[in-house]
Amino acid sequence: MKKAEKVQFIMDKLEALYPETPVPLDHKDPYTLLVAVLLSAQCTDVRVNQTTPALFARADTPQHMMQVPVDDIREIIKPCGLSPRKSKAISELSRILVEDYGGEVPASFEALEALPGVGHKTASVVMSQAFGVPTFPVDTHIHRLLYRWGLSTGKNVVQTEKDAKRLFPREKWNKLHLQIIFFGREYCPARGHDPHACPICRVVGRKTLFA
């Protein structure tokens, strides 16, 4: 199967399985999405969604969050892990948003990535899901699956993102990255994966999967 045929098969299969792609992280606006994505680092979306209601009940705007003591934020978000670092980042980025951006989340990669605790992947998710800008955020699921499907070398997430953007149509990036995440969780896990039972790997997977 040629690479172009693989890409089309994958897109068709994902569209059939996941015609709707709700954003996995509960949020009501760009700010609450930004905080939720920051919390999701090395944490499951389920755990984040269990944690953010208490946090956003305390403060759901940067103006209010910057007034909450960092220790209080840390205590609330402790279930998400890395709470000392994440709590400081949430407090500091909230202050910056108020002082530099009028309390609004900037729709700019450069501005987002300059915020404390916000890397390229977090910025990409916010740009995609809050502002509708075509991006292809690469998490562990996408990194793993594009390698398994022979669409990327798997060397690093930077290369995987470049390969994804080169192979898939730009207008499909925002939906596709969510579809791949959903597929990875349901059919293509890191451990205990059966390539013969996987709806995509059994058709397009690397030969090494079947050794």
Is there a contact between 118 and 38 (Cβ–Cβ < 8 Å)? yes
Q: Quote the tokens at residue 192.
A: 């205990």
Decide if 26 is catalytic. Answer: no
Identified catalytic residue from 6, 60, 86, 121? 121
Q: Quote the tokens at residue 178.
A: 């969510």
Identified catalytic residue from 86, 139, 162, 194? 139
| Count of Cβ atoms closer than 10 Å to residue 209 Cβ | 16
Decide if 139 is catalytic. Answer: yes
**For 74, what's the count of Cα atoms within 13 Å in the CB-facing half-sphere?**
11
Q: Quote the tokens at residue 167.
A: 């192979």
CA-to-CA separations, 150 to 1, 18, 161, 181, 207, in angstroms, rounded: 11, 22, 14, 17, 9
Catalytic annotation, residues: 121, 139
